[in-house]
Structure 1
């Protein structure tokens, strides 16, 4: 080992634990910031694999600094002394984390070292290794507790989808960091796999979009029903499985302006509010979704009973309230 390598190694031994702490800091700050932009699900469900910092092994770092790259300033040039990987479900989730990383200017400066979407636009016919890589560098004077980080110290951040991560685990050490020569057949198989991953991600995004639209509609209906029910009864009720079941079945009767439709309908039938405000009601009257069931019966009494989650003997009183005969429609 020559003097330059020995100096590199001694400095690394002095600073290793500081880099480890820096990686922990970066990881926890990103998770915390994700929790702020994802208030409902939090980062715990958003991240598909637990994120934890990884300090580069000394032999690997020495080989990169002095053999593989031959940097003029080896120690400063190795930017992945510590790194952390975030694995999410979809490409749009990759962009969410990217926004968090780029926006955390109070902690670091961030540069995008690799962007697979930009590479795909530049070479649209090439299907290759995909991942977004950032390097964040500590702001001057930044620290935690009684410790101060080294100014401008780097941390590499990789952001991948779950499919990209699976592909990387399968191929990266052989195709992109070869311990054996990658054959044309291997490269072709890897490219076909990446093409399939891109197509699958597109399909997943379509499915998620449809699900979000459906969930959004159901949540809108549920909020409307809960608000109106509380206004007319004074009762604050929690959502229940039966409430959700009835909403899921009867939500086709709720239009885009259901809140206004419901208010207008109740004005025409004030006795419903009086009925629901009473005490000792049957259990079905104690959930906000009963408003939607009554609304559906009022609109289309014949269709409202088809495949209903409520049994005939549970539906019949609701028809009677509206002056309708259950068996005559």
Structure 2
């Protein structure tokens, strides 16, 4: 009999990476039935004690793996990985999970409980979709006491194919959002530093809506621009003075104005064609006029 305990939490690893664990299970198996007739089940059974981490998407599994492998005090070996099984049988869509065995190589005490040397813990890692499949299929299909129609098995395989495709799309969404957020944080931090240097005012604690809209609109353009190009412009005192003197204007009072000045001077056509905030047109017009252009 397997006793389970579940909880939901966020996990922060030593690397500083944080992922959300939708479900974390810890189990303890009653070895008294001993169906496989082990001579010494407490030593021969490797999953008497175990835990399972269920991540939102499969790409997060790698983060948990790195943390697990780097954990001191335990010898960790990988026993199963769905990627190996997919590579071996690419035409099959079946149960997917990552299994590790963690063996304590010396006795220690944790939370008042003595953990004997040689204690083995099975650690399972799955995405949320992989876990949903496993929970439905494991007892109802693979270990079912009753007959399971071939049509049902086919439906199960089709469901895993759909889940695999869905997870891949979710991972792509997560990567794209991470890329966008990383770019936004980088540019805002740099612009804030320059803005504070010019005005003595720092705003890094708040990424306001206008800034987000502007950074998103010019995201592709900024991939081709170096920070040095933007900040070099402000070696000229005239630009610094203009920003410092016009803090009464909304755009001038935000770090993003540093980028808008550069765009007006060096990418005016892009700025004019793609400017997303009509409410700040008068502020942009003043910047454009200052660098020698006429705003529409």
- TM-score, scaled to structure 1: 0.77
Q: Which consecutive aligned stretches of 4+ in structure 1 deviate over 4 angstroms post-superposition?
A: none
Residues 120 and 70 of structure 1, relative CA distance in 2, 3 Å threshold: farther
User: Shift of residue 130 of structure 1?
Assistant: 0.6
User: CA 1:287–1:161 in structure 2 vs 1: closer, same or farther (change >3 Å)?
Assistant: same
Find out whether 1:53 has 2:26 as its counterpart. yes
Q: 2:50 matched to which residue of 1? A: 83
- Aligned-residue Cα RMSD (Å) equals 3.0
The TM-score normalised by the length of structure 2 is 0.85
CA distance in 1, matches of 2:196, 2:221: 21
Name the structure 2 match of 1:301. 268
1:33-182 equivalence runs, <5 A: 34-39=12-17, 42-43=18-19, 46-47=20-21, 49-56=22-29, 58=30, 61-63=31-33, 65=34, 67=35, 69-104=36-71, 106-182=72-148
SS at match of 1:293: helix
Cα pair 2:249 2:283 within 8 Å, conserved: no
Q: 1:120 to 1:250 in 2, by over 3 A?
A: closer
Equivalences, count: 291
Alpha-carbon distance between aligned partners in 2 of 1:197 and 1:280, rounded to the nearest angstrom: 53
- 8 Å contact 1:247–1:292 — kept in the other structure? no
* Partner Cα separation in structure 2 for residue 281 and residue 320 of structure 1: 18
**Structure 1 SS opposite 2:134:** helix
Mapped to 2, the partners of 1:275 and 1:36 lie a distance apart of 45
Instruction: Report what 1:233 is aligned to.
Output: 199
**Offset of residue 302 of structure 1:** 4.6
Question: What is the CA distance between 1:132 and its match in structure 2?
Answer: 0.8
State the secondary structure of the residue aligned to 2:198: helix
Q: Determine whether 1:321 maps to 2:290.
A: yes
Name structure 1 gaps, 5 residues minimum: 1-15
Distance 1:215 1:171, change over 3 A: same
Show the counterpart of 1:246. Answer: 214
Alignment partner, residue 167 of structure 2 = 201
- 1:139·1:152 contact (CA, 8 Å) conserved in 2? yes
**Separation in 1 of the partners of 2:146 and 2:16?**
43
- Structure 2 counterpart SS, 1:130: coil
1: CA distance between counterparts of 2:88 and 2:25? Answer: 32
5+ residue gaps in structure 2?
none
Contact residue 246 and residue 252 of structure 2 kept, 8 A: no
Superposed CA deviations along residues 170-226 of structure 1, whole A, max 9, x for unmatched, are 212112222323332222211122222222233333333333333333233222212
Which structure: greater helix fraction?
Answer: 1
Structure 2 distance, partners of 1:111, 1:175, is 29
